[in-house]
Amino acid sequence: MIDVGWICVAAVRAVYWLVMLVCNFLGYSPLWAQIAMKNRKMENVRIRIPSHLAVCFTEKRLVDLSEVIQMMDSCVSAGIRQLSLYDPYGELVGQIGQIEQACRLFIRADLFCDGECLHSNGLANLQVNVLSRKMGKTALVEACKTLCREDEKITTERVSKILEEKFHLSDPDFLLQIGSVPTLCGYPPWNLRITEFLQSPRLPCSRRALDYCVEAFSQRDIRVGK
Amino acid sequence: MATNLTADEEAGWFVAQQEQPWWQWLLRRFIASGPIPRHVAFVMDGNRRFAKSKHLGNVIKGHEKGFVQLAKILDWCNRFGIREITVYAFSIENFKRSEDEVSGLMRLAEEKFQKLLNDSEKLDEKRICFRFYGNRSLLSSRLQKLMSDIEKRTEKFDGGRLNVCMPYTSRDEITRSFETIRNHVKEGKVDVDDVSEYFLNILKKCGKFQINESMIDACLDSGCGGTVPDLFIRTSGEHRLSDFLMWQAADTHVYFDDVLWPEFGYYNLCKAILNYQYYRTTVVKISALNVSEYDAPSTTWKMKFSGDDRDLIAIKA
């Protein structure tokens, strides 16, 4: 008597063997192998959380307040300490009141807008810095004016210090360019020295989407000249 | 690749103007029907990885291959009608590398600059103006002299412009620009303090002006006749600026390519220019957002230069 079950198992195994043979011949790994390889690669990569994450909106239609607030929440849970939101269109600065309210009520976050402190809580897990176009080259012009009033020689350290103290501008570890336009839209230039860039079609507001970006950051090789 | 180069051409800055292969000619004619960037900046990254992957034995061999590729790319850009090219040859941060590599790179630079000066006939034929950006005081006196001689020799040429950044970082360039302005303030030529419109007009009448973006622009290394890049290209799959032209490229189209610099071929250059053409209008619109009432400078500035002499002048008030 022929065992139907045995024939089915043998047929499945034969088909699987054939698929493997074809895939190996064509140079493609089967889907499960690709997933396993990806997981193994990720196990070997030490996940590095960027301490300072920056977001640069390259398209006006992608500036959405609810998504921004959701992203702030995701940043808190991912352990990101500072979030700079650069919007060259000025939409976020126009809605700063609502962002401030969200920072006060839902997210334990300090809020700065164009270098001005709007809300500060001693126990905050996140610092949010909303930046407009004014914080680009114009902030550097102001820094230059301040330094020119003093007698001391101007050094890179002093420029960084002035920008930090006067405009709350510091170097982001990772910058997300939101949208498809490949430009930095005038993001404060001084602070992009060794910042890593990643282009994303939309704001990674969910925790899962943000984790994907953090994984991409972890895989980057940062050498600083060496 | 465009042409098979002779040993002499491989060592030099200019490759022979021979006929292009038909497919390159066709691609160029097709692409040149659209807008072409006037100024392209390159971060020539990936020479060391190229040397390792091709088992060349020494990283300097990778840099030599990178230089050969640069000469080819200069020729291709010239054919496309790109008027200005800026290349990141050596960063101040690169002094952290091994002594062997740094001295090897300096030797290579000396050899290439000397070769350029000796190639008088080619220089006169191509008429390309060479400029060097960066803090030259960190280099040997021989290299400084060679750079200065090349600049003087090519100062009046108008066939195109090549800016070589060595040893350069953008922060250092901006800081030196600030220091130049501070010296002008000390001399009483520039006024710092914010004043009302009434007093501003009085200051202008006295020949004193306020610090603005245009003044910083003029005091940068690129202030001596350079322009803002339209396209910024970085090779080798790294996605960062690495302290290169951060001020000038703040609103520029930034393009990253995964290939290593010595493998950056004609096809890759065409892809970059096509990408520039696709986004050009949008990038221009975004950069135009900058020109608000707040940003618009009341006075524009220019750095008048001749040899090593510099003079900051207000050209519109």
A82: confidence class by pLDDT, cuts 50, 70, 90: very high
B-proximal residues of A, 142-161, CB under 8 Å: 143-145, 147-149, 153-156, 159
Q: Which residues of A touch B185 (CB under 8 A)?
A: 148
- Average pLDDT score over residue span A45-51: 87
pLDDT of residue B1: 41
pLDDT of residue B198: 54
pTM, to two decimals: 0.87
Distance, CA of B144 to chain centre: 18
Optimal mutation site among B239, B248, B252, B275, interface A, most CBs of chain A within 10 A: B239
- Which segments of chain B have a pLDDT < 70? 1-11, 16-18, 193-209, 290-298, 307-308, 316-317
Nearest by CB to A184, which of B91, B213, B254? B254
A176-217 pLDDT tens trace: 999 999 999 999 999 999 999 999 999 999 999 999 999 999
**How many of the other CB atoms lie within 10 Å of CB of A198?**
16
pLDDT digits (tens, 9 = 90+) for A136-150: 999 999 999 999 999
- C-alpha to C-alpha distance for A87 and A197, rounded to whole angstroms: 16
* Structural domains of chain B sorted by starting position, each given as residue range(s) with its CATH number in brackets: 7-170+230-297 (3.40.1180.10)
Spell out the residues 6+ positions from residue B282 whose beta carbon is closer than 8 angstroms to its own: A181
- Kindly tell me if the per-residue pLDDT of A99 is higher than 60: yes
Q: Do B279 and A183 touch (CB under 8 A)?
A: yes
3-state secondary structure of A54: strand
Q: Residue B62 carries which side chain, given as an amino acid letter?
A: G
Nearest by CB to A182, from B179, B193, B279: name it. B279
Question: Is the pLDDT score of A23 beyond 80?
Answer: no
For residues B65 and B85, what is the distance between their CA atoms, to the nearest angstrom? 19
Contacts of B60 (CB under 8 A, 6+ apart): B51, B101, B104, B105, B108
The answer to whether the CB atoms of A184 and B238 lie below 8 A apart is no
Report the C-alpha gap between A13 and A2 in whole angstroms.
18
Q: Does position A29 have pLDDT exceeding 80, yes or no?
A: no
- Cβ <8 Å between B252 and A183: yes
Tell me if chain B has a CB within 8 Å of the CB of A93.
Answer: no
Q: Count CB neighbours of A166 within 10 A.
A: 13
Reduced to 3 states, what is the DSSP secondary structure of residue A156? Answer: helix
Average pLDDT, rounded, for chain A: 89
- The pLDDT value recorded for residue B2 is 43
Q: Is the pLDDT of residue A225 over 90?
A: no
Residue of B91, B185, B213 lying closest to A225 (CB–CB): B91
What digits encode the pLDDT tens for the residues A106-128? 778 899 999 999 998 777 889 99
In this prediction, residue A84 carries a pLDDT of 97
CA B45, CA B33: separation in Å to the nearest integer?
30
